[in-house]
Amino acid sequence: MNLKEKFIWNLAIGISSLAIIWSIWNLYILNTDTTKLYTKFLSDSKNIGTDDNLESKVLELETNYKFRDNMQFKISSDPADLNRVVAVGGNGSKRKKTLYANGIINRGNGRLTALMNFKDNTYNVDQGDSIAGGLITKITTTEVVFNKNNKEYIFSLSLKNTLE
């Protein structure tokens, strides 16, 4: 081997030795950092996965929803009672063409008069009167019975038909 070849081999061995030493040093630093983080993880393992603020907020929401779930909702009047619907003006209103009871007046001595609306006019009718092509057959303090074409229609003004 001549001097030139010897120099190249020595240079290659030197650079390789420096690269190996550099890699060993980097692995040592990485290992010490990993060990520090792992020991910190083990010391804090009882608190991992818990967030005190989140846990308190969840408990607060659960108690709030349990309180709401125990609340009872009662309707004061029957929402399906179409006699209680207020017609809002306009020519397209259905109430304009239909018959409905507006109220019942007690005239004394057991005489009752019903306030019936038909085609935007209010009529005071007694039992036996004719309106809208039909006959008023019965008036009580809470309802009006109307017959037309052998069909009986009951207009109720009672609050007893409410849902509970």
* Assigned domain for 123 exists: yes
* Assigned domain for 12 exists: yes
Same domain, yes or no, for 30 and 92? no
* Assigned domain for 114 exists: yes
Closest by Cα among 150, 149, 139 to 115: 139
The partner residues of 114 in beta bridges, in order of sequence, read 104, 125
Cβ contact 148:62 at 8 Å = no
* Assigned domain for 51 exists: no
The partner residues of 130 in beta bridges, in order of sequence, read 135
Same domain, yes or no, for 90 and 152? yes
The pLDDT assigned to 108 comes to: 78
Same domain, yes or no, for 36 and 96? no
Residues in Cβ contact with 75 at an 8 Å cutoff, skipping those fewer than 6 apart? 162, 163
Looking at residue 142, what DSSP letter applies? S
What is the count of structural domains for the chain? 2
Residue 7 lies in domain: 1-40
Closest by Cα among 156, 10, 3 to 84: 156
Please give the chain's pLDDT, 164 residues, in tens. 799 999 999 999 999 999 999 999 999 999 999 999 998 888 776 666 667 788 889 999 999 888 888 776 666 666 676 655 555 444 444 445 578 888 888 887 878 898 888 887 889 999 999 988 889 999 988 889 999 888 998 888 765 443 33
Same domain, yes or no, for 86 and 151? yes
* Assigned domain for 138 exists: yes
Same domain, yes or no, for 89 and 27? no
Same domain, yes or no, for 86 and 150? yes
Same domain, yes or no, for 34 and 94? no
* Assigned domain for 103 exists: yes
Look up the CATH number of the domain holding residue 94: 2.30.30.830
